[in-house]
Chains A and B, each alone.
Chain A
Amino acid sequence: MELNDFLTLLTAITIAVSCSLLGCFLVLRKTVMVGDAISHSVLPGIAIAYLLSSSFNSVFMLIGAAVFGVFTTLLIDFFHKKLKLQEDASIGITFTWLFAIGVIIITLFTNSNTDLDQDCVLFGELSSTFLDKIIIGDYLMGTRSFWMIFPVFLIILVFILFGYKGLSIISFNEDYAKSLGINVGFINLIFMSLVSVTTVMSFESVGAILVVGLLVIPPATAYLITDKLKRMLIISCFLAITSCIIGFYLSILIDVTASSMIIVVSGCLFLLTFGYINIKKTLIF
Chain B
Amino acid sequence: MKDTIIYFFTDSVAFKVLIGITIISATSGIVGTFSFLRKKTLVGDAIAHSLFPGICLGFIFSGTKDPFYLMLGSLITGWLSVWLIDVLTAKSKLSSDTSIAFVSTFFFAIGAVLLSFISGSSNGNQSGLKDFLFGKAATMTNDDINVFVFLSLIIFLVVILFFKYFQLISFNKEFAKSIGIKVNLIEFLLSTITVLTVAIGIQSVGVVLTSALLIAPAATARYWTNNLPKMLFYSALIGVSSGVLGVFISSTKENMPTGPWIVFILFFFILLTLLFSSNKGWFSMVRKQRINRQKMAEENVLKVFYQLAELGVKNVTYSEFLNKRQMDTKELTNTIVSLIKKGFINNDFQLYKLSEKGEVEAARIVRFHRLWELYLTKRLNFKEDHIHGTAETIEHLITPEIEKELLKELKFPTADPHNKNIPY
A261:B208 contact, CB within 8 angstroms: no
Q: Does B109 contact A (CB under 8 A)?
A: yes
Chain B residues, CB < 8 A from A108: 253, 256
Q: Does B10 contact A (CB under 8 A)?
A: no
Give a binary string over B85-119; 1 marks a CB under 8 Å from any A CB, 0 the rest.
Answer: 00010011111011011101110111011001100
CB under 8 Å from chain B, chain A span 1-46? 27, 30-33, 35-36, 40
Q: Does A179 contact B (CB under 8 A)?
A: no
B219:A93 contact, CB within 8 angstroms: yes
A33:B112 contact, CB within 8 angstroms: no
Across the interface, name the chain A residue whose C-beta is closest to B280: A84
CB under 8 Å from chain A, chain B span 20-37? 36
Q: Does B306 contact A (CB under 8 A)?
A: no
Partner of A101, one of B120, B214, B264: B264
A92:B208 contact, CB within 8 angstroms: no
Q: Does A264 contact B (CB under 8 A)?
A: yes
Give a binary string over B374-406; 1 marks a CB under 8 Å from any A CB, 0 the rest.
Answer: 000000000000000000000000000000000
Main secondary structure of the interface of A (DSSP, over half): helix
Q: Does B288 contact A (CB under 8 A)?
A: no
Chain B residues, CB < 8 A from A215: 101
A213:B264 contact, CB within 8 angstroms: no
Q: Does B74 contact A (CB under 8 A)?
A: no
A89:B109 contact, CB within 8 angstroms: no
Given A96-B208, A97-B212, A101-B260, A88:B102 Cβ within 8 A = no
Across the interface, name the chain B residue whose C-beta is closest to A125: B116
Across the interface, name the chain A residue whose C-beta is closest to B121: A255
B383 to chain A, nearest CB (A): 27
CA gap between A30 and B95 in the complex, in Å: 6
Partner of A89, one of B108, B112, B219: B219
A85:B219 contact, CB within 8 angstroms: yes
Chain A residues, CB < 8 A from B93: 223-224
A132 to chain B, nearest CB (A): 21
CB under 8 Å from chain B, chain A span 183-213? 209-210, 212-213
Give a binary string over B251-288; 1 marks a CB under 8 Å from any A CB, 0 the rest.
Answer: 00101110111011011001000110000101001000
Across the interface, name the chain A residue whose C-beta is closest to B219: A89
B274:A256 contact, CB within 8 angstroms: no
Chain B residues, CB < 8 A from A274: 88, 91-92
CB under 8 Å from chain A, chain B span 214-235? 214-216, 218-219
CB under 8 Å from chain B, chain A span 249-285? 251, 254-257, 259-261, 263-264, 267, 270, 274, 277-278
Q: Does B49 contact A (CB under 8 A)?
A: yes
B90 to chain A, nearest CB (A): 11
B120:A256 contact, CB within 8 angstroms: yes
Q: Does B300 contact A (CB under 8 A)?
A: no
Partner of A100, one of B91, B104, B264: B264
CA gap between A63 and B91 in the complex, in Å: 41
B223 to chain A, nearest CB (A): 9
B112:A260 contact, CB within 8 angstroms: yes
Across the interface, name the chain B residue whose C-beta is closest to A250: B113
A96:B263 contact, CB within 8 angstroms: yes
Q: Does A217 contact B (CB under 8 A)?
A: yes
Besides A256-B117, A263-B109, 8 other CB < 8 A contacts? Answer: A30-B95, A36-B104, A86-B39, A119-B130, A122-B208, A212-B104, A215-B101, A267-B109
